């Protein structure tokens, strides 16, 4: 394995690991705050129990997200010093703001988790709201950096190829920024909400406390289902921005080799880089032109317009895109089912077929997120900054990068397994859930912040 | 003071970065020190001492940890070439430090929130404690490698980025191992460990509600103070041979003597405070001592970020970036400082309430 490939794998692994915890860190605090708010409004102690259970899970997942995020902040320099030396002055600004958002998140999560008995009810709820809001803000700032890498603006290049006359604020508002931030935020709520709903659906199917898990299901679906329904619309905006700003990426994710008017949408299929064709795809005539440009006869640029050295790995990008769309569609359908059932005032918790469908889509959101990151990151190759800086020129000169790759792979595999086991044991504890009497006060509930 | 007259935006940003690093040492460092005591405590009150450590750092360690992120973000925004250089040449010790950071944080939450069975608790406790001990050493090693000038020396032998021309006779070990795998950086690592353990023990004398536990940590703090003295002296001795400009800066320049006196004075006050059980005085003095040691380092290598290849001014980002960063830092502080004050007040005032955090 070349050093460049090892560095790319380590970065992909680190991001792929962190992103799951980041999404949970964005959406889970919202759910936990909603549960606490319901408890304070209704006095229904089951909601308090739910808020505390979710807070416990959030504590574990947030900490792993925080340390894996720290690793990333160093890895930018450990693996990509050429990128940071080049782009630091322009992308440092959103990273700095992200630093403050993360700070606020960590501070108020501490208050929330450990402050049940130490701050007033309003202050406690407010702390949770701040955690949820600053989590979303962190995501926006970080994704702004990625959007800049996809659609770099706010500078000129001097004779030596370095950045000159930079405008960091313009860099934060790059053409891809709005749609990428929107897509990522919605993905966080959809993935986490439906995953949590799936877990509680499983517990209901297995005979867990109906009172507890139905309330959990209600809040999780409230957060996850609308997001999952909206995500295809946000995806449409994304695709149109990609079509305009990164035509080669669009061609790769659609397996479009030739430049043509009225290009078809390909479902499935295998892009063959040797013959420069996409085989075995189901083609819907003119649909790609229609979707990407809202015009059935619009011209779509093909991969052949750039030399093979400037193309991303087409098969990976195309398959990841298909996977993302497929998983997202399934999530949207299950969410529509939930909405339909709720609208007809049927009891969601009693529909066993619906619960089974929810269990099935539990991991879909996270898988779709990983696929989406493969689309945007691998789809930008061979560039780290689109059209400006090649990934191969950004990598560290240190040899032997396969060693840290193996090390961090083992670390993250171990951590991942432990987190899954811990969360599973937290979930199992709820099976023996005895719902406390309805008048329990905030103080004195055991196991609260612990 | 002619140097002061030349202070511009790059130096101000570097100063703020140094302040963030100091706060990280005082807060985050003490959290690592708490883990060191989790490892070292012996005797009949071992579990009580460990519970005290866990309660003290539980609500605040994640916020304290973010100071390190602030340092890194300022470094790569304001001084991108230095961030790139350190990431390249200190890849190995920085990666090892990251492993320590990940294991410390994860093991701590796994122990606090995870399974209740004793065997798992002990295992996470052990990993938390060992990672808390190794990480400060590696942090110090990285600092020591920079301050000694070895990183700067290796930088001159690094192949030019992009040109693909390798400098002659620079082996892997020359570039990526020798700058840090040397006695002086490890002496700085030992000093860092001793300082963090000292800070933690002093803070815990204030945090402890139990008089016997407090006496235990008083004894430990005095022992750690001795360790700080010994490791600082050892580092200084090694500096004479391996980092001559460090010992020259610390001993020879005009500001050196008052600075040394102030550091020594803070150390004496800290020990006197512990001796006479003036806990809060000892805490302030220990924090002052640590800060003065850090700023002594900063002054020794001023105006270099990486002696003797990266001058602050030479590697600074364009003015527009620095100006925006300063605005961002000012605006962020408006949110951050009251929030931090609220966090610390919430958990300092309420220590008398028996904590609901069960760490064991």
> Which residues touch B44 (CB under 8 Å, ≥6 apart)?
none
Give the nearest chain A residue to B341 (CA atoms). A107
Predicted TM-score (pTM) of the model is 0.92
- The minimal CB distance from B328 to the residues A81, A90, A96 is found for A96
**H or E element, residue A282:** strand A282-284
List, in sequence order, the alpha helices (H) in B148-182: 150-155, 172
Count the Cβ atoms, other than its own, within 10 Å of residue B96. Answer: 20
Determine the Cα–Cα distance for residues A337 and B56; give it in Å rounded to an integer: 48
Number of domains in chain A: 1
Lowest mean pLDDT among A47-51, A85-89, A426-430, B85-89: A426-430
CB contact under 8 A, B84 and A84: yes
Question: Of B359, B286, B311, which is closest to residue B53 (Cα–Cα)?
Answer: B359
Q: How confident is the model at residue A450, as a pLDDT?
A: 33
Helix (H) or strand (E) holding A279: strand A277-279
Nearest to A224, CA basis, from A351, A105, A339: A339
A184 pLDDT tier (thresholds 50, 70, 90):
very high
Task: Determine how many CB atoms are found less than 10 A away from the CB of residue A285.
Answer: 12
Nearest-angstrom CA–CA distance, A305 and A276: 12
Interchain CB distance below 8 Å, B343 and A111: yes
- C-beta atoms surrounding A198 within 10 Å: 25
Is A95 an 8 Å CB contact of chain B? yes
Q: What is the mean pLDDT of residues A194-220?
A: 94
User: What letter does residue B174 receive in the DSSP assignment?
Assistant: I
The residue of chain A with its CA nearest to that of B109 is A60
Interval A106-141: pLDDT, tens: 999 999 999 999 999 999 999 999 999 999 999 999
List the one residue out of A437, B344, A121, A436 whose CA is nearest residue A447.
A436
Closest-CA residue of chain A to B177: A398
List the single residue in A with minimal CA-CA distance to B101.
Answer: A67
From the list B105, B325, B350, which residue is nearest A118 (CB)? B350
Domain with A317 in it: 3-432
Facing residue for A66 by CB, picked from B62, B73, B77: B62
B106/A85 touch (CB, cutoff 8 Å), yes or no: no
CB-CB neighbors (< 8 A) of B62 in chain A: 62-63, 66, 106, 109-110
Give A171's pLDDT tier (boundaries 50, 70, 90).
Answer: very high
Contact A68/B at CB under 8 A = yes
- Taking alpha carbons only, the member of B104, B31, B121 closest to residue B360 is B121
Query: Is B91 in Cβ contact with A96 (below 8 Å)?
Result: no
Q: Which residue has the higher pLDDT, A161 or A180?
A: A180
Read off the pLDDT of each residue in A272-294 and give the average, rounded to a whole number: 93
- Quote the pLDDT of residue A435: 52
Q: Quick count: other Cβ atoms within 10 Å of Cβ A258?
A: 14
Interatomic CA distance for residues B312 and B10, integer angstroms: 6
Q: With CB atoms and an 8 Å threshold, state whether B84 touches A425.
A: no
- Residue of chain A with shortest Cα separation from B350: A118
Quickly count helices (H) and strands (E) in chain B.
17, 2
Q: Which of A87, A109, A134, A119 is nearest to A32 (CA)?
A: A109
What SS3 class is residue A295? coil
Please report whether residue A446 resides in a domain: no
CA distances from A45 to A36, A111, B73, B168 (A): 9, 21, 43, 72
Q: What is the pLDDT of residue A444?
A: 39
User: Percentage of chain A with pLDDT > 90?
Assistant: 87
Q: What are the φ and ψ backbone dihedral angles of B127, each rounded to 5 degrees? A: -65, -45
Calculate how close chain B gets to A185, using CA atoms only, in Å: 22
Interface contact flag, A63 B108, Cβ < 8 Å: yes
Find out whether B145 and B179 touch, Cβ atoms under 8 Å.
yes
- Rounded CA-CA distance A176/A31 in Å is 29
Q: How far apart are CA B133 and CA B218, in angstroms?
A: 20
For B48, half-sphere exposure in the C-beta direction (CA atoms, 13 angstrom radius) is 15
Ramachandran quadrant class, A294 (left: phi over 0; alpha: psi -120 to 50; beta: rest): left
Q: Residue A94: inside a domain, yes or no?
A: yes
Question: Could you tell me if residue B295 is left (phi over 0), alpha (psi between -120 and 50 degrees) or otherwise beta?
Answer: alpha
CA gap A24, A69 in Å, rounded: 13
User: Quick one: pLDDT at residue B354?
Assistant: 42
Least confident of A176-180, A240-244, A418-422, B21-25: A418-422
Q: Which of B113, B175, B328 sits opposite A450 (nearest CB)?
A: B113
Query: Do A304 and A276 contact (CB within 8 A), yes or no?
Result: yes
- Nearest CA among B124, B133, B61 for reference residue B360: B124
DSSP A263: P
| Residue ranges for chain B with pLDDT beneath 70 | 1-6, 115-116, 160-169, 252, 349-360
Contacts of B108 in chain A (CB under 8 A): 63
| CA distances to A62, B47, B107, B119, B172 from B35, in Å | 20, 13, 11, 19, 34
Residue B202 parent element (H or E): helix B183-207
Residue A239 above 60 pLDDT? yes
pLDDT over threshold 60, residue A441: no
Chain B residues within an 8 Å CB radius of A76: 76, 87
Residue of A54, A148, A65 whose CA lies nearest to A416: A65
B179 and B158 Cβ atoms separated by less than 8 Å: no
Q: Determine whether B275 is exposed, middle or buried from the number of CB atoms within 10 Å of its CB (0-12, 13-18, 19+).
A: exposed
The answer as to whether A445 is a domain residue is: no
d(CA A11, CA A75): 7
Residues of chain A with Cβ-Cβ distance to B346 below 8 Å are 111, 115, 118-119
Q: Would you call A156 helix, strand, or coil by DSSP? A: strand
Alpha carbon of B223: minimum distance to chain A alpha carbons (Å): 31
pLDDT at B31: 94
Instruction: Tell me how crowded residue A141 is: count the other CB atoms within 10 A of its CB.
Output: 20
Contact between residue A61 and residue A419 where contact means Cβ atoms under 8 Å apart: yes
- Helix and strand numbers (H, E) in chain A are 14, 10
What are the pLDDT digits (tens) for A320-368? 999 999 999 999 999 999 999 988 887 887 889 999 999 999 999 999 9
CA torsion A155→A86→A99→A33, rounded to 10°?
Answer: 70
Residue in A68, A114, A400 closest to B357 by CB: A114
Name the region of A139 (left: φ>0; alpha: ψ -120 to 50; beta: rest): alpha
DSSP of B288-356: HHHHHHHHHHHHHHTTEEETTTEEHHHHPPPHHHHHHHHHHHHHHHHHHHHHHHHHHHHHHHTTTSPP-
Option in A85, A115, A407 nearest B346 (CB): A115
Q: Which distant-in-sequence residues (6+ apart) come within 8 Å of B153 by Cβ?
A: B179
Neighbour count for residue A13 (Cβ, 10 Å): 16
Tell me what the pLDDT averaged over chain A comes to.
92
How do residues A19-75 score in pLDDT, each as one tens digit?
A: 999 999 999 999 999 999 999 999 999 999 999 999 999 999 999 999 999 999 999
- pLDDT value for B241: 83
Classify residue A437: in a domain, yes or no.
no
The pLDDT of A386-400, averaged and rounded, is 94
Q: Are A29 and A132 in contact (CB under 8 A)?
A: yes
For residue A96, the chain B residues in CB contact (below 8 A) are 73-74, 77, 325, 328-329, 332
């Amino acid at each position: 394995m070349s050093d460049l490939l090892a560095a790319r794998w380590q970065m992909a692994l680190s991001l792929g690991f962190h992103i799951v915890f980041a999404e949970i860190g964005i959406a889970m605090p919202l759910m936990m705050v909603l549960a606490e708010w319901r408890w304070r409004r209704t006095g229904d102690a089951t909601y308090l129990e739910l808020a505390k259970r979710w807070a416990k899970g959030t504590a574990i997942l947030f900490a792993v997200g925080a340390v894996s995020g720290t690793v990333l902040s160093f890895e930018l320099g450990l693996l990509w010093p050429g990128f940071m030396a080049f782009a630091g002055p322009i992308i440092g600004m959103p990273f700095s703001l992200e630093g403050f958002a993360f700070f606020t998140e960590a501070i108020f999560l501490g208050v929330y988790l450990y402050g049940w008995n130490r701050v007033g009810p309003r202050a406690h709820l407010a702390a949770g709201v701040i955690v949820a809001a600053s989590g979303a803000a962190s995501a926006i700032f970080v994704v702004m950096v990625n959007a800049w890498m996809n659609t770099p603006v706010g500078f000129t290049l001097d004779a030596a190829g370095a950045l000159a006359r930079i405008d960091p604020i313009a860099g934060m508002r790059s053409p891809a920024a709005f749609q990428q931030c929107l897509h990522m935020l919605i993905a966080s709520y959809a993935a986490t909400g439906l995953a949590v709903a799936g877990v509680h659906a499983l517990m209901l199917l297995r005979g867990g406390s109906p009172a507890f898990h139905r309330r959990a299901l209600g809040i999780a679906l409230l957060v996850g289902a609308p997001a999952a329904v909206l995500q295809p619309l946000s995806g449409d905006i994304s695709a149109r921005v990609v079509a305009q700003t990164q035509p080669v990426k669009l061609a790769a994710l659609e397996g479009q080799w030739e430049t043509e008017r009225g290009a078809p949408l390909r479902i499935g299929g295998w892009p063959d880089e040797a013959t420069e064709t996409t085989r075995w795809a189901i083609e819907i005539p003119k649909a790609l032109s229609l979707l990407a440009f809202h015009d059935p006869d619009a011209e779509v640029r093909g991969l052949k317009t750039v030399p093979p050295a400037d193309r991303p790995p087409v098969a990976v990008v195309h398959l990841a895109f298909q996977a993302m769309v497929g998983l997202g569609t399934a999530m949207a359908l299950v969410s529509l089912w939930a909405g339909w059932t709720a609208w007809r005032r049927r009891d969601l918790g009693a529909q066993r077929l619906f619960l089974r469908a929810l269990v099935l889509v539990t991991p879909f959101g996270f898988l779709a997120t990983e696929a989406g990151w493969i689309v945007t990151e691998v789809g930008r190759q061979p560039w780290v900054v689109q059209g400006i800086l090649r990934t191969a020129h950004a990598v560290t000169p240190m040899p032997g990068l396969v060693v840290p790759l193996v090390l961090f792979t083992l670390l993250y595999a171990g951590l991942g397994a432990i987190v899954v086991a811990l969360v599973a044991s937290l979930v199992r504890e709820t099976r023996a859930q005895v719902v406390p009497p309805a008048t329990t006060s905030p103080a004195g509930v055991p196991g609260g912040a612990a | 003071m002619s140097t002061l007259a030349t202070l511009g935006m790059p130096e101000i940003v570097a100063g703020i970065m140094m302040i963030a690093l100091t706060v990280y040492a005082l807060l985050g460092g003490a959290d690592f020190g708490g883990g060191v005591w989790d490892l070292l405590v012996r005797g009949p009150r071992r579990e009580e001492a460990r519970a005290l450590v866990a309660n003290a750092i539980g609500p605040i360690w994640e916020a304290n940890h973010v100071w390190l992120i602030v340092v890194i973000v300022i470094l790569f925004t304001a001084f991108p070439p230095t961030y790139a250089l350190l990431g390249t040449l200190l890849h190995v010790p920085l990666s090892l430090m990251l492993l320590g950071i990940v294991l410390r944080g994860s093991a701590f939450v796994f122990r606090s929130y995870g399974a209740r069975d004793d065997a798992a608790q002990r295992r996470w406790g052990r990993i938390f404690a060992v990672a808390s001990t190794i990480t400060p050493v590696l942090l110090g090693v990285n600092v020591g490698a920079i301050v000694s000038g070895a990183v700067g020396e290796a930088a001159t032998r690094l192949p030019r980025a992009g040109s693909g021309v390798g400098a002659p006779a620079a082996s892997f070990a020359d570039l990526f191992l020798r700058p840090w795998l040397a006695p002086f950086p490890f002496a700085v690592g030992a000093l860092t460990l001793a300082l963090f353990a000292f800070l933690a023990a002093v803070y815990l004398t204030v945090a402890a509600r139990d008089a016997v536990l407090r006496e235990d940590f008083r004894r430990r703090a005095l022992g750690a103070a001795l360790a700080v003295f010994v490791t600082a002296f050892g580092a200084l001795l090694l500096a004479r041979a391996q980092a001559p400009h460090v010992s020259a800066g610390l001993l020879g320049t005009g500001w050196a003597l008052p600075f040394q006196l102030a550091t020594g004075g803070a150390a004496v006050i800290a020990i006197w405070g512990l001796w006479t059980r003036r806990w809060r005085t000892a805490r302030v003095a220990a924090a002052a001592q640590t800060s003065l040691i850090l700023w002594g380092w900063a002054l020794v290598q001023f105006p270099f970020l990486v002696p003797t290849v990266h001058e602050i001014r030479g590697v600074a980002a364009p003015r527009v970036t620095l100006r925006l960063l300063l605005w961002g830092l000012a605006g962020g502080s408006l949110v951050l400082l009251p929030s931090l004050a609220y966090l610390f007040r919430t958990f300092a005032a309420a220590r008398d309430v028996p904590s609901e955090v069960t760490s064991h």
